Structure 1
Amino acid sequence: MPYALTRLLGAATAAYSGTIVVAPKVLAKPCGLTTPLGDTPRPVRTLIGAIGARDAAIGVAMMLAPPGPALRTAVSARVASDASDALVFGLTLPDPKARKKVVAFALFWAALCAVSLRWN
Structure 2
Amino acid sequence: MRVGLLRTVGAATALYGLAVTARPDLLAKPSGLAGPDGTVAPATRTSLRPLAWRDAVSGLAMVVAPEGPALRAATAVRVAADFGDAALLGLTLPERDRRLAAVAVSVGWGALSVAGLLGGGRGKA
Task: Give me the TM-score of the superposition, normalised by structure 1.
Answer: 0.95
C-alpha distance in 2 between matches for 1:117 and 1:81: 15
C-alpha separation in 2, matches of 1:106 and 1:38: 23
Give me the whole-angstrom Cα distance separating, in 1, the residues matched to 2:106 and 2:63. 19
SS at 1:29 equivalent: helix
| Separation in 1, partners of 2:47, 2:86 | 15
* 1:95-116 per-position Cα deviation (integer Å, ceiling 9, x unaligned): 1100000111100110111111
Map of 1:82 onto structure 2? 82
CA distance in 2, matches of 1:79, 1:66: 18
Question: Which residue pairs with 1:66 in the alignment?
Answer: 66
- Residue 89 (structure 1) shift: 0.5
Counterpart Cα distance in 1 of 2:11 and 2:43: 27
Residues of 2 paired with 1:35 and 1:85: CA distance? 22
CA distance in 2, matches of 1:46, 1:73: 28
Gaps of 5+ in 2: none
Q: CA deviation at 1:46?
A: 1.2
Query: Where does residue 10 of structure 2 map in the other structure?
Result: 10
Aligned-pair distance for 1:118? 3.0
Match of 2:23 in 1: 23
SS in 1 for 2:31: coil
What's 2:100 paired with? 100
Letter in 2 for 1:39: T
Q: How many percent identity over aligned positions? A: 43
Q: Which whole-Å CA distance do the structure 1 matches of 2:3 and 2:51 have between them?
A: 25
Q: Runs of at least 4 residues of structure 1 off by over 3 A?
A: none
Alpha-carbon distance in structure 1 between the residues aligned to 2:94 and 2:118: 36
Q: Which has the higher contact order (CA 8 A, sep 6+)?
A: 2
Considering only aligned residues, what root-mean-square deviation do their CA atoms show, in Å? Answer: 1.0
Equivalent-residue separation in structure 2 for 1:63 and 1:87 (angstroms): 25
Mapped partners of 2:94, 2:117: distance in 1: 35
How many residues were matched structurally?
Answer: 119
